Amino acid sequence: MRIPHFVWALAVVVALAAAGFLTRASWLPWLTAPSAPQSDDDSAPAPAEPKLLKLSPQARRNLALTSKPYQAQSYWRAIEVPGVIIDRPGQTDRVVVAPAAAVVAAVHAFPGDIVKPGERLFTLRLIGEQVQATQAELLKVAREIEFTQQQRARLEELKKTVSVPEARFIELDIQIKRFTAAGRAYRQELLSRGLTAVQIDGIVAEKFVTQIEVQAPKANGARRAAALNDDEPAAAGLEVEQLKVELGQQVNGGQLLCLLADHRALFIEGHSFQREAPWLARAAEHGWPLGVEFAEDASESWPALSSALTIRHLSNTVDPSTRTLSFYVPLTNQSRIHRRDGRAFAVWRFRPGQRVRLRVPVQEYQDVIVMPAGAVVREGPEAYVFRQNGDLFERRPVHVLHEDRSAVVLANDGSVRPGLDYLAQGAAGSLNRILQAQHAGGGLPPGAHFHADGSLHIPGK
């Protein structure tokens, strides 16, 4: 008997259904959608570290932001010590005293005036008995010399006719020598009292001196003598600092008349602690130049200092009250001249009492990158600088070797490329805050990054 075709088809369907039921464990998961794996940590993934920020030209101008490439260089780590400008002892101040007892008849120079060596300061009317007596003695000695010389001349004429003992001539010559020596002594005493050679010669002609001129002292040594040919009086003269007498006042010999000052050569007196003495001694021994910052100094209106500042010497005593050690740095002053009422007046850049901050070098770093203090920002142990590429700024981590108030020293380890990377010179803290804000708001397009050659790549552009 032949089986119909539909029976065979039904049997195949039943067999396939049974096989599917028996193998359901293997094919059933294919028909269901896979579920996301469950994480043991329910917290959201940490966002990517922000690196790029964009600033408009207006924003850069508001921040006064500029960029430039930096070159590897050497840098001296230094300690900062306070100091003060002082007079240079024995050179800055000069005193003028009365040479003899007198009355101040005229004052020719006043505080602020600049006087050249030999210029009149005071006219004094002599009242001391000693000067008058010395003048009388000089005149007496001069007359004795004339009388003795005349007597010897008469004996010379008499000798032509009669015999004159030779001992008489010897006696007269001895008297002339004695009177001449006395006259030289009287002249020297009058010169020390302020009389000029012309006035002393006038005394011999019976013109007694009743008043003298007190003049500005002459230059000290070759240093000041070289300046005497300068056209500006401040370069060769002295400034009247204080008057100590009044017109008509009676003064005694040796009494102070005025104080003169030469502010061209000053000292910076630094004050350091005893533990810093080895560093100071080494800087003085090697002549290392010091950094200096003058308080209340308009440096932009003055020329740069012509020479480096170095330590001349260290004090060998410690101040018992402050427990500090002093050291001294020579300072050449600068001045400007203005004229009023026919006189010249000087305006000095540096003045005694002015405060100074000194930077004494103690250690040298080689092959480093030196940036302004405001160009580096810190976040915990990390330090960053910002590299500019058009309107974009990239934050880059750096290794800080040393930092102080004015500068940060970075290791030249490839974090930035000397001479190639343009680095922001300031406002690093502001840039970092802007970067955080832009990153929180979406920031730059996804996938934007810098290539190794410094170019920016944005996908799709």
pLDDT in tens, 72-126: 999 989 999 999 999 998 888 889 999 888 999 999 999 988 888 888 999 998 8
Residue 446 has pLDDT above 80, yes or no: no
Residue 66 has pLDDT above 60, yes or no: yes
Higher pLDDT, 120 or 160: 120
**Which tens digits make up the pLDDT trace of 389-398?**
888 899 999 9
Do 370 and 73 contact (CB within 8 A), yes or no? yes
**Chain CA centroid to CA 168, Å:** 76
Residue 115's Cβ-count burial label (10 Å; 0-12, 13-18, 19+) is buried
Residue 447 has pLDDT above 60, yes or no: no
Residue range(s) occupied by CATH 2.40.420.20 in the chain: 52-77+365-457
The Cα 162–Cα 192 span in angstroms is: 48
Q: Phi-psi bin for 140: left (phi > 0), alpha (psi -120 to 50), beta?
A: alpha
In this predicted structure, what is the pLDDT of residue 198? 85
In this predicted structure, what is the pLDDT of residue 453? 41
- For the chain, the distance separating the N- and C-terminal CA atoms, rounded to the nearest angstrom, is 80
**Which tens digits make up the pLDDT trace of 330-379?**
999 998 888 888 788 888 999 999 999 999 999 889 999 999 989 999 98
In this predicted structure, what is the pLDDT of residue 123? 92
List, as one string, the DSSP characters of 175-191. Answer: HHHHHHHHHHHHHHHHH
In this predicted structure, what is the pLDDT of residue 101? 87
**Which tens digits make up the pLDDT trace of 304-327?**
888 899 999 999 999 998 889 999
Report whether CATH 1.20.140.10 matches the domain 52-77+365-457. no
Enter the tokens of residue 5.
């075709």
Residue range(s) occupied by CATH 2.40.30 in the chain: 80-90+263-362
Other Cβ atoms closer than 10 A to 11: 11
Measured CA angle at 134 (ends 191, 251), to 5 deg? 70
Do 195 and 84 contact (CB within 8 A), yes or no? no
In this predicted structure, what is the pLDDT of residue 30? 57
**Which tens digits make up the pLDDT trace of 255-307?**
999 999 988 899 999 999 999 999 999 999 999 999 999 988 888 889 888 88
Q: Are strands 238-243 and 114-115 parallel, antiparallel or unpaired?
A: antiparallel
What angle do the packed helices 129-158 and 166-192 form, to 10 degrees? 160
What are 68's strand-pairing partners?
423
What are 360's strand-pairing partners?
79
Q: Phi-psi bin for 26: left (phi > 0), alpha (psi -120 to 50), beta?
A: alpha
Written as one letter, the residue type at 373 is A
In this predicted structure, what is the pLDDT of residue 2? 60
Q: Quick check: helix, strand or coil at residue 104?
A: strand
Do 115 and 121 contact (CB within 8 A), yes or no? yes
Residue 26 has pLDDT above 70, yes or no: no
In this predicted structure, what is the pLDDT of residue 47? 53
Written as one letter, the residue type at 210 is T
**Which tens digits make up the pLDDT trace of 109-120?**
999 888 888 889
Question: Which residue, 373, 456, 376, 423, is CA-closest to 71?
Answer: 423
pLDDT band at 22 (very low <50, low <70, confident <90, very high): low
pLDDT, averaged across the chain: 82
In this predicted structure, what is the pLDDT of residue 452? 39
**Which tens digits make up the pLDDT trace of 407-419?**
899 999 988 888 8
pTM of the model: 0.65
In this predicted structure, what is the pLDDT of residue 411? 93
The Cα 438–Cα 203 span in angstroms is: 97
- Give, in words, the CATH class of 80-90+263-362: mainly beta
